[in-house]
C-alpha cells in the first residue's frame, strides 16, 4: 500500500497529496485514526479523505485502513533490510528471502478479488492468449505461456517488440493479452497494448498501481512491491508476478471444469516418457 501511494502521488490532486504525505510520514497512526482525524491533520475535508482512498484503489476509508494494517503487519520488518557489501552470506540469504516472503504476503493481503475474477473471465472467454513483457517480465511472460498452453488454449509469449507489435495489431476481439511490467512505463510495451486495444482485444495488466500501463488496460492486477529495477535485477517483483500468473492459471483451470483433466494428462505423458525409472 505504501509503495502504491508513492507511485501514484504525482497523479493525485493537491489536496489528496497532502493526505498521501501524511500517510507516508505516519503510517502506523493511520490504522487507528478516524476520517475526521485524518482530515484535520492533513488540513483537508472529510470527503477528500474518502476520495483519496478511492483514488488509490480502495473501496473506502475502512478498506484503506485494513489494507494498510495488513501491509504494515507483514511487510515492514523487511522493507529496509538492505544487503551490505560486508554482510556474511547467511545474512545475505536471510535478507533476500525475507524480502521475497514479505512481498508475497503483501500481495496476498492486498489482492483485489474482483479484478482477478474479471481477468479470469477474460482469459476463459478468449480464443487466443498472448503474453507480453521485456527483460525479467519477458521471462514471466514465457512462464505464463508454459502454464496456459497446457490448458489447451492457443497462446504464445512475445518478448521482441517488433513481433509483439505486429501480432497485437491483428489480434481481434476474440483475443486477450496479459501485459507484464513492474514499472509499467516501457514505451514499447505501452505501444503494443495500444495496438491490441485498437484491434478489439482485451488487455490484462500485471503492474504497479498508478502507472500508464495500469491506466490503459481493460483490467489491472496491481502488484505493489518496493524494488528499484533501474539499478538491480528484478527479484521480488518477478516472484510476485510469477505468483499472480499461477493464481490466474489455476483460476482458469477451475473455471474450465473437469473436462480439462484429459488435456493435462496428455500434456504430461511425453514428459514422463523422457524420465528414467532407475534411481541413482
CB 24 within 8 A of CB 5: yes
> Among 10-19, 59-68, 69-78, whose mean pLDDT is lowest?
69-78
pLDDT band at 264 (very low <50, low <70, confident <90, very high): low
Rg (CA), the chain: 21
- How far apart CA 125 and CA 37 sit, in angstroms, is 46
Instruction: Show Cβ contacts of residue 93 under 8 Å, excluding neighbours closer than 6 positions.
Output: none
- The whole-number pLDDT of residue 4 equals 81
- How far apart CA 113 and CA 96 sit, in angstroms, is 28
The average pLDDT across 197-206 equals: 98
- How far apart CA 81 and CA 94 sit, in angstroms, is 10
Q: Over the stretch 213-241, which tens digit does the pLDDT of each residue have? A: 999 999 999 988 766 555 556 688 899 99
- How far apart CA 237 and CA 225 sit, in angstroms, is 6
- How far apart CA 73 and CA 65 sit, in angstroms, is 12
Phi, psi dihedral angles at 156 (to 5 degrees): -155, 160
Indicate whether 70 pLDDT > 80: no
Whether 131 and 22 share a structural domain: no
**What CATH number is given to the structural domain containing 176?**
3.40.50.10490
- The whole-number pLDDT of residue 279 equals 62
Q: Over the stretch 266-277, which tens digit does the pLDDT of each residue have? A: 666 776 777 776
pLDDT band at 88 (very low <50, low <70, confident <90, very high): confident
Which one-letter DSSP state was computed for residue 173?
T
Residues β-bridged to residue 155: 129
What is the residue whose three cell numbers read 500481495? 107
Whether 117 and 205 share a structural domain: yes
The average pLDDT across 111-134 equals: 95
CB 50 within 8 A of CB 74: no
E strand or H helix that includes residue 17: helix 14-25
Q: How many domains does the chain divide into?
A: 2
Q: Over the stretch 149-182, which tens digit does the pLDDT of each residue have? A: 988 889 999 999 999 999 999 999 999 999 999 9
Whether 48 and 119 share a structural domain: no
Mean pLDDT score across all residues of the chain: 87
Whether 64 and 137 share a structural domain: no
Percent share of the chain, pLDDT over 70? 88
- The whole-number pLDDT of residue 80 equals 44
Whether 232 and 123 share a structural domain: yes
Residue, of 20 and 236, whose pLDDT is higher: 20
Whether 120 and 73 share a structural domain: no
Phi, psi dihedral angles at 130 (to 5 degrees): -130, 145
- The whole-number pLDDT of residue 11 equals 87
Indicate whether 37 pLDDT > 60: yes
Could you tell me where the DSSP H helices lie in the chain? 2-8, 14-25, 27-30, 35-42, 46-55, 61-79, 89-110, 113-125, 136-148, 161-169, 187-198, 212-216, 236-256, 261-273
Whether 141 and 225 share a structural domain: yes
Q: Detail the DSSP E strand segments found in the chain.
A: 128-132, 155-158, 175-180, 202-207, 219-222
Indicate whether 184 pLDDT > 50: yes
CB 193 within 8 A of CB 132: yes
Residue, of 1 and 252, whose pLDDT is higher: 252
- Domain interval for residue 259: 113-266
In a domain, residue 184? The reply is: yes
In a domain, residue 105? The reply is: no
In a domain, residue 102? The reply is: no
Amino acid at each position: 500500500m505504501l509503495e502504491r501511494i508513492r507511485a501514484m502521488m504525482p497523479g493525485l490532486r493537491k489536496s489528496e497529496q497532502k493526505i498521501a504525505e501524511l500517510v507516508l510520514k505516519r503510517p502506523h497512526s493511520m490504522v487507528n485514526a478516524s476520517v475526521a482525524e485524518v482530515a484535520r491533520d492533513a488540513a483537508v475535508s472529510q470527503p477528500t479523505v474518502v476520495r483519496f482512498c478511492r483514488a488509490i484503489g480502495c473501496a473506502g476509508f475502512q478498506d484503506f485502513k485494513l489494507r494498510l494494517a495488513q501491509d504494515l503487519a507483514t511487510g515492514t520488518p523487511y522493507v529496509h533490510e538492505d544487503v551490505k557489501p560486508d554482510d556474511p552470506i547467511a545474512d545475505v540469504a536471510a535478507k533476500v528471502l525475507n524480502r521475497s516472503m514479505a512481498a508475497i504476503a503483501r500481495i496476498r493481503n492486498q489482492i483485489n478479488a474482483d479484478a482477478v475474477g474479471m481477468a479470469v473471465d477474460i482469459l476463459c472467454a478468449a480464443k487466443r492468449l498472448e503474453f507480453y513483457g521485456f527483460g525479467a517480465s519477458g521471462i514471466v511472460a514465457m512462464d505464463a505461456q508454459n502454464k496456459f498452453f497446457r490448458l489447451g488454449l492457443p497462446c504464445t509469449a512475445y518478448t521482441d517488440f517488433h513481433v509483439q507489435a505486429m501480432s497485437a495489431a491483428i489480434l481481434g476481439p476474440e483475443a486477450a493479452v496479459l501485459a507484464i511490467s513492474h514499472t509499467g512505463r516501457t514505451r514499447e510495451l505501452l505501444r503494443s497494448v495500444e495496438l491490441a486495444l485498437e484491434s478489439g482485444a482485451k488487455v490484462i495488466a500485471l503492474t504497479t498501481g498508478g502507472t500508464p500501463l495500469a491506466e490503459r488496460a481493460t483490467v489491472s492486477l496491481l502488484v505493489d512491491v518496493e524494488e528499484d529495477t533501474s539499478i538491480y535485477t528484478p527479484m521480488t517483483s518477478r516472484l510476485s508476478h510469477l505468483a499472480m500468473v499461477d493464481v490466474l492459471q489455476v483460476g482458469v483451470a477451475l473455471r474450465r471444469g473437469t473436462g480439462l483433466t484429459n488435456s493435462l494428462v496428455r500434456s504430461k505423458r511425453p514428459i514422463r516418457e523422457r524420465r528414467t525409472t532407475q534411481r541413482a
